[in-house]
């Protein structure tokens, strides 16, 4: 699969957690973001927060977080049907979080967001 869209990652501390902010822009043709790697440290993903950007994505867009092997969504489907106007919280009540991950490369992906839309995926690791 070819890279579509783009992600710019910034890392910060948020209390005892490490926060990975992934600012994304979807591909103009497909409305997707794929194969944009993010390096996460070992720990437990305790919450993922998806925020629509200034160019709001299409309502009910989908977010997944894939490991290097690519076959398992670490959010367990909890990132489906995101609101285009509200901040979306993906936590233990909606997904299989917390989930332990080893240090490595992961791929936040976005689907069905629309033409050149923007948003932020914040990944909190304890």
Residue 99 tokens read as 């989930």
Domain count, the chain: 1
| pLDDT reported for residue 30 | 80
Residue 58 tokens read as 């299409």
Residue 25's nearest CA partner among 110, 114, 118 is: 118
CATH number at residue 46: 2.60.120.380
| pLDDT reported for residue 43 | 97
| pLDDT reported for residue 1 | 55
Indicate whether 72 belongs to any domain. yes
- Each residue's pLDDT expressed in tens, for the chain with a length of 126 residues: 577 899 999 999 989 999 999 999 999 778 999 988 999 999 999 999 999 999 999 999 999 999 988 788 999 999 999 999 999 999 988 888 999 999 999 999 999 999 999 999 999 999
Global pTM reads: 0.94
DSSP assignment string, 85-124: SS-EEESTTTSS-SEEE-SEEEEEEEES--TT-EEEEEEE
Alpha-carbon distances of 116 from 22, 65, 113, rounded to whole Å: 16, 20, 8
Indicate whether 35 belongs to any domain. yes
Dmax of the chain from CA atoms?
40
């Amino acid at each position: 699969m070819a890279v579509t869209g783009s992600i710019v990652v910034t890392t910060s501390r948020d209390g005892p957690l490490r926060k990975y902010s992934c600012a994304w822009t979807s591909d103009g043709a497909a409305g997707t973001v794929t194969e944009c790697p993010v390096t996460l440290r070992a720990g437990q993903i305790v919450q993922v927060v998806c925020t629509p950007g200034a160019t709001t994505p299409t309502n009910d867009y989908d977010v997944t977080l894939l490991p290097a092997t690519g076959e398992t969504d670490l959010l367990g489907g909890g990132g489906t049907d995101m609101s285009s106007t509200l901040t979306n919280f993906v936590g233990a009540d909606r997904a299989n979080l917390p989930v332990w991950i080893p240090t490595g490369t992961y791929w936040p992906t976005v689907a069905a967001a629309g033409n050149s839309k923007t948003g932020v995926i914040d990944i909190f690791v304890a």
